[in-house]
Amino acid sequence: MARPTEIAGQAMGKLKGAKQALTGGAGIFERLSTEHGEISTLIRRVAATTDDSNVRKELFERIRTELAAHARAEEKEVYSTFRAIGDIGGKMDDSADEHHRIERYLEQLDAMPITDDRWIEVFREMMMLVQHHVIEEEQQIFPAAKKALTKEQSFALEARYLESKSKELDSFT
């Protein structure tokens, strides 16, 4: 049975995805925005904990897995496509660098005791980077990419992304 935080994350994800769809962002844009909303909700829930290591432990593994799979699949499929778009092509290296910084945070957190006071400080630093990254993608990169891709290209890109992400998720099991 889904926990309240997971339900809230799914609801937030659906809202963000619906917003993308309403602004012409079907396919990959709706998919990525939905995932951004879901994971952001889980991250905020963990960041709000003070000493509840059970919540941290329960949600961190999912956050770690989802963020890593999302980042790797996005770089492989989405960023490679977006690099060809003149207005945003140069931003893809910066976005990939942010992914790598997030993965380093995840590795650092994974190596620390979850009850350590420093753990939540590092987690909150990572949260700030994730928030910055999501805002930049959704407000700067997606609008330009929506103009450059047809609806069919967006759906095809979504399919490639989902296949790649599925393979990434399988590598964690």
> Is the Cβ–Cβ distance between 31 and 19 less than 8 Å?
no
* pLDDT value for 106: 96
* CB neighbours of residue 30 within 10 Å: 22
Q: Is the pLDDT of residue 22 over 60?
A: no
Q: Is the pLDDT of residue 4 over 60?
A: no
User: Which residue matches tokens 């926990």?
Assistant: 3
The values of phi and psi at residue 149, to 5°, are -105, 145
d(CA 17, CA 15): 5
Q: Is the pLDDT of residue 5 over 60?
A: no
Residues 6 or more apart from 103 whose CB is under 8 A from it?
67, 68, 71
* pLDDT value for 24: 55
> Is the Cβ–Cβ distance between 49 and 72 less than 8 Å?
no
Q: Is the pLDDT of residue 62 over 60?
A: yes
In degrees, rounded to 5, the angle at the alpha carbon of residue 77 between the alpha carbons of residues 162 and 169 is 40
Tens digits of residue pLDDT in 90-107? 899 999 999 999 999 999
pTM score, two decimals? Answer: 0.84
